[in-house]
Chain A
């Protein structure tokens, strides 16, 4: 699996330079509102995961790589390592980039940021990481079952309504948004433990599904 992870890093190397301009272009626009900044950075972090899938799909690389001396399980696991790296890296960039932007922000802009920015607290960073992780863990089984094209359509068709309905319910019922509400009960340390346990469980379930799907797929 190590060779697969290193392969992914090498394959993506020509696009690494895009990280800075992508954050400048999208992240800077997002600074006008905390929610937008959060959402933009989640999308960017997820892009780091999906970029490799796009490269692989357009070049039919799955078929080539599966012909090498690697197991399909290893191929799936390498993707999950990549997704974890993208979620962690995205979280670090979210924090760094937020601080840099805020250092240059005007008074007028700062007025749009009531309270502590997300990257200033453990809970905020955890929320960011969990958001990226959740999207990746939900998406990858679709990718491994049906490929990038059909898998993405299925993902959007099945999960988008769930997310929209969930968001509406949270708003209408005034449910506490995690983990702010959770940390009030569990404390920061407890929240971190619970969130990481949840992330691990989600990752394990998603990985199992993906391995099963990919093992059956004809390439």
Chain B
């Protein structure tokens, strides 16, 4: 790796843990389907069961990344940037978007558009935009701004579905970028990789 790559590796490795996005994206999809009362997902207990499964999956995936790709403590400056960007952008999108959709009878999805913009802004601020971010979140933004959402009875719940799909797809691409940069997980066997220095 070159100097710049080495210096940015630690900042980037956290978001490249893309498989963590799969349970989160699944949760978004289940939330949308549950709100729409789709099948058994309308039952709060079933939803809670899924929530626990996704939480367990997230913890398992996080452990896999810690074992195979290591742990990093970001610098205070990086941590501050991540925290401020996350605490401003995501609440703004997840609260402001649905409020706009509920307040105005728009033919577009303000929620999905706000979420896509928040993701693009987050990547631009925290790690730098990559082509895959522009394509995936840009596609969600375009879909959100197509005048086809007026027909949906509950467009906020429907919007969770493409948001969830985009989250999962983006996560898979991020994981692929991680493997390209640091090698496949099998290259380091966790039981033997941490020896006394």
Determine if chain A interacts with chain B.
no
Residues of chain B whose beta carbon lies under 8 Å from any beta carbon of chain A: none
